[in-house]
Amino acid sequence: MLRRLYDWTLSLAARPSAPYALAAVSFAESSFFPVPPDVMLVPMMLARPDRAWAYALICTVSSVIGGVLGYMIGLFLYDSIGSWLFQVYGLAEGAETFRHSYAEYGHWVILLKGLTPIPYKLVTITSGFAGYSLFWFVVLSIVTRGARFFVIALLMTRFGPVIKSLIDRHFNLIAGLAIVALVGGFVAFRYLF
């Protein structure tokens, strides 16, 4: 199933609607959707390395805008939607501890969590209900999300054929490691914060 998704995403890169689909996934991932945009981003960059930088920009902008939605969920709707999302992901207990860490480490929390497998939506919602500065949240989100997506673009433009060859030969292993990283991000958030 994952292999078909990968192949479908490679074929999607040639379509005019590809950037819109990428933007939608990146936006949704920052506020409520559990799958990171990398699932689309990497195959699209492999299929169209000439568009890698544009795809990174699309992901950055849409991720930050989606992050603002996540922030608003945390700020205005945490008691209903925000807490429900944390409960769905089994992270309600860790959210309160995470919230208190903003008092001293807010900048670092946003910068570091935006680069790790810890789901970014948890950072965006928590930033809102912690009352973290919206201005700094947006600035730091641009930095951390931009760094993540532009590093991927750099890797794809420099090593794309090698990476594609590795993915094609070891797809199941790489897909398994990606799933472990995603699940590990949720677990890390739950137990570390």
**Using the 8-state DSSP alphabet, how is residue 119 labeled?**
-
Q: C-alpha distances in angstroms, 159 versus 35, 59, 156?
A: 24, 20, 5
- Produce one character per residue of 34-56: b if its CB has 16 or more CB atoms within 10 Å, e if not: eebbbbbbbbbbbbbbebbbebb
How far, in whole angstroms, is CA 50 from its chain's centroid? 22
The per-residue pLDDT for range 169-184, each reduced to its tens digit, is 877 787 777 767 666 6
Q: What is the pTM of this model?
A: 0.79
**Cα–Cα distance between 91 and 94 in angstroms, integer?**
5
**Cα–Cα distance between 29 and 121 in angstroms, integer?**
6
The token pair at 71 is 């922030």
The token pair at 179 is 């799933």
**Cα–Cα distance between 106 and 14 in angstroms, integer?**
40
The per-residue pLDDT for range 41-66, each reduced to its tens digit, is 888 898 888 999 999 999 999 999 99
**Cα–Cα distance between 158 and 186 in angstroms, integer?**
31
**Cα–Cα distance between 66 and 114 in angstroms, integer?**
13
The per-residue pLDDT for range 100-158, each reduced to its tens digit, is 767 678 888 788 776 666 778 888 888 888 889 999 999 999 999 999 999 999 999 99
**Using the 8-state DSSP alphabet, how is residue 115 labeled?**
T
The most distant pair of C-alpha atoms in the chain lies apart, rounded to whole Å, by 47
